[in-house]
Structure 1
């Protein structure tokens, strides 16, 4: 049994907007500062990667999306197996946006809780931008 499993948390939000509209927003790396300003105060393209600027400096990311599957993954360019894995799903006439993120197994519980609060705020911002 592996002992180095990451801690995974998923949050979701119902959005009264078509899946295409929600997907268009969350799959556009240039839109990250509008809904995740703590993560990406600014963003720029750098070859096949993106560079986000935030309070910790700069970080290189990969944004991998599939309109056919409704998936948008925002991954650490140095370790693409880690990051945020998201999906836009149909929900009646609207959408459901699911956001799964990972934390190291030794992450302090307070840090995880604080980050989940940030994610929940980002989800509410996405809903406001799309509705």
Structure 2
């Protein structure tokens, strides 16, 4: 049996805005360029896909269907063809919310790459908080 266990890190931010409002904004792919600079400088719908210009090059992004559970998972297909699954949740936190992004270390990532990725996700979530509060 092959060991497929990878390191994960949960990056989160608390937002003083109701969960439903955070989810409504963050689940709209057209809003990604405003807060998710690590993923998207621009994004447009192309058929059933969303195509983003990102720091990694042109990527396609597939989002989980809209739901009442706060699930914002999305798969990003990189220019190399590799698809990266990104689990994201918007959780109710009293009158506010918490957004939790599970960052998974890809097999080819160095420690520095993983730290840089975590810093990018942290900055993106903080930008989301600033936009919504």
**TM-score in terms of structure 2 length:** 0.88
Q: Is the 8 A contact 2:42 2:54 kept in 1?
A: yes
Shift of 1:60: 1.0
Q: Is the 8 A contact 2:25 2:31 kept in 1?
A: yes
- Give deviations 1:57-101, integer Å, cap 9, x for gaps: 211110114431110112034666x32111111101100111112
In structure 2, runs of 5+ residues without a counterpart are none
In structure 1, runs of 5+ residues without a counterpart are none
Residue 122 of structure 1: aligned partner = 124
Report the aligned-residue RMSD.
Answer: 1.7
CA distance in 2, matches of 1:106, 1:53: 22
Q: Is the 8 A contact 1:83 1:101 kept in 2?
A: no
Residue 57 of structure 2: aligned partner = 57
CA distance in 2, matches of 1:8, 1:116: 10
Shift of 1:103: 2.1
Number of residue pairs matched by the alignment = 130
Match among 82, 104, 107 for residue 105 of structure 1 = 107
Q: In structure 2, the residue corresponding to 1:75 is in which secondary structure?
A: strand
Q: Which has a greater percent of strand?
A: 1
Change (3 A) 1:76 1:56: closer
User: Which consecutive segments of 4 or more residues in structure 1 shift more than 3 A?
Assistant: 77-80
Asked if 1:10 is matched to 2:10, the reply is: yes
Asked if 1:36 is matched to 2:56, the reply is: no
Asked if 1:96 is matched to 2:98, the reply is: yes
**TM-score in terms of structure 1 length:** 0.89
